[in-house]
Structure 1
């Protein structure tokens, strides 16, 4: 199944570890085979990992983009997800964490990332509540 990407001018994305930048016009690309692809908005840089959810998201992203480092990143993911689950009280959020973990176990890293993005909203609401 092909993946169709509509890109904004100058938009960056990563395909199998290669950073690609779109030109100065909108364009559409079609990927005909399976590839690890992340848009700029879904990429988290190491220096931006500063919250518990980002510590969960980051190793999933690395497992997706760098399969050779899977073991190291998976250990980080398990540690961070365990820490996060130990402080979460909301049942719905716990179920989401279980679903993310299942996706990671199944090698469905992109699905896990998209589910993990939902945790950012939960985290924001908790941080705003505690301030």
Structure 2
């Protein structure tokens, strides 16, 4: 099934390891076969790997972008996931950890990346690093 990407002007993405940038107008790209694609917002630079959840996300992202490097990244992923699981008791976070692990073992790296993204979001909420207006207000009032 083809993948359709709607791109904003100037938006960057990675396609099978190559950084590609859209031109000055909105564009649509249709990929007819399997490819590793990450939008700019999902790409994490080494300098951004500053928290436990991001230390899980980064090796998964690298496995997705370069499946050949997965065996060397698996130990780092396993170590960081174990550390995170040892530090949390939240059932939803634990479920995402298990999901990420299962997907990595099945070589479903994009699905693992989405589970790892949820861990980053969970961590940001707990650390108070969520942009104003986005935080859960269910406890107010």
TM-score by length of 1: 0.94
Aligned residues: 129
Q: CA deviation at 1:127?
A: 1.5
For residue 59 of structure 1, give the secondary structure of its aligned residue in structure 2. helix
Counterpart position of 1:3: 3
Output the CA distance in 2 between the equivalents of 1:112 and 1:68.
16
Q: CA deviation at 1:128?
A: 2.7
Q: CA deviation at 1:78?
A: 0.4
- 1:8-56 Cα deviation digits (max 9, x unpaired): 0000001110010000000001000000110000000011100111000
Counterpart position of 2:13: 13
Runs in 1 of length 4+ with deviation above 2 angstroms? none
Output the CA distance in 2 between the equivalents of 1:41 and 1:92.
23
Name structure 2 gaps, 5 residues minimum. 130-141
Q: Does the aligned pair in 1 maintain the 2:9–2:23 contact within 8 Å?
A: yes
Name structure 1 gaps, 5 residues minimum. none
Output the CA distance in 2 between the equivalents of 1:42 and 1:124.
15
TM-score by length of 2: 0.88
